[in-house]
Amino acid sequence: MLRFEITHTDGAARRGTLALPHGVVDTPQFMPVGTVGSVKALAPDDLLRLGAQIVLGNTYHLMLRPGPELVAEMGGLHRFMSWPGNVLTDSGGFQVYSLAEKRRISEEGALFQSHLDGKKHLLTPERAVQIQGQLGADILMCFDECPPAQADRAHHVAALERTTRWAGRCKTEWQARQGSADGAGALFGIVQGGLFRDLRERHAQEIAALDLPGTALGGFSVGEEPAVMWEGVQHAAPLLPAGKPRYVMGVGTPEDLLRCSLAGADLFDCVLPTRVARNGLLFTRQGRLQIKSARYARDPRPPDAACSCYTCRTFTRAYLRHLFAAQELLSFRLNSLHNLTFYLDLMRDLRAAIERGESRAFADQAIEQFRAGPD
């Protein structure tokens, strides 16, 4: 189901291999987000070309449309979307709190109305594991309660206590399904606690006690300042079991990925690179490039001369600016291809730096360059 091996360490940073049912994932690794069963604007062959090893699917979105039963009938999410690599599914919890209407949380689970058609759904820890099994996830996430960014300490305490109880119920359901057709995935626990260090410490112990195959940090990158998030992850990552993969959920910018990897995190996911791509923001080794800027109207250079993606090998900034200005569909694909290539190449280069024992210097230099901004 999962075999995690740390091949190199460099300070707190780790370079590892995570063997999953659909191939090996090199860590630290970034997972593109395929919300509704496609990484927006990209096809599976695009993802293979840019070197993606694992993508994320959103349980909330997929349970509403097309529904887990249909996906299971079509052979699971991999076959449904023709993706040969690995899939991690979230538990649906985060979207229930951020997207759904009229949600009511009880000990049983979360009752909510779909943001699509107002239909009522009940998501419980057991149901979240069942659905992720039907989707055929290689990594499943425990159903958790994520307090809003501005929640007070008491709210955080209640949420993490419930998250621990729910994680126990998730584990029971997951164990009951092992050996069945959709029981091949590995279940990860989620550590909450917001920015309260003692709560993170307490919750890390509670989740570790469940002895699940991997651990995630939830509740980061939910509105706090970047430096605050970095400090939080630097504190919390070492609290998680050292021999198991550590996943920081919903993170982040290129700088976030570097800083959290240096703190000992192994996996990341975020809609940022594809979302900003559709808004015309390109990441380059020289910083952020707003492709709509008039300064690129006649620029014959690729977005990033050091990038080997199809976009950079083929098109000029001038053309990409034109496509974006005209809101041509091709713009969204070419920009997304580039940003995801940038992210995955950054992680690849970071892994090599960890192997050489130079991850700190690599990260410092990369972060410096990102801040400069391109010509």
When the beta carbons of 43 and 352 are compared against a copy of itself, the nearer one is 43
Measure the CA–CA gap between 195 and 180, rounded to whole angstroms. 39
Q: Which residues of 307-316 are buried (b: 16+ CB within 10 A; e: fewer)?
A: bebbbbeebb
How many residues belong to the site for a copy of itself (CB under 8 A)?
A: 36
Taking CB under 8 A as the criterion, the residue among 19, 48, 242, 297 binding a copy of itself is: 297
Q: How far is the CB of 157 from a copy of itself (least distance, A)?
A: 38
Question: Is residue 283 close enough to count as binding a copy of itself by CB under 8 A?
Answer: no
Q: Which residues of 79-97 are buried (b: 16+ CB within 10 A; e: fewer)?
A: ebbebebbbbbbbbbbbbb
Annotated catalytic residue within 138, 269, 304, 345? 269
Q: How far is the CB of 209 from a copy of itself (least distance, A)?
A: 39
The contact pattern for a copy of itself, residues 308-337, with x = CB under 8 A and - = no contact, is --x---xxx-xx--xx-xx-xxx-xxx---
Written as six digits, the tokens of 107 are 């000990």
Please indicate whether residue 90 is annotated as part of the active site.
yes
The footprint of a copy of itself on residues 53-112 (CB under 8 A) is 65-66, 70, 73-74, 80-82
Task: Please choose, from the candidates 90, 17, 92, the residue with its C-alpha nearest in 3D space to the C-alpha of residue 53.
Answer: 17
Give the torsion through C-alpha atoms of 203, 205, 209, 212, to 10 deg: 70
When the beta carbons of 22 and 322 are compared against a copy of itself, the nearer one is 322
Angstrom CA distances, 2 to 25, 43, 47, 206, stand at 10, 26, 22, 22
| Whether the Cβ atoms of residue 352 and residue 345 lie closer than 8 Å to each other | no
DSSP letter (8 states) at residue 127: H
Please indicate whether residue 364 is annotated as part of the active site.
no
Q: Which residues bind a copy of itself (CB under 8 A)?
A: 36-38, 40-45, 65-66, 70, 73-74, 80-82, 297-298, 300, 310, 314-316, 318-319, 322-323, 325-326, 328-330, 332-334
Residues annotated as part of the active site = 90, 269
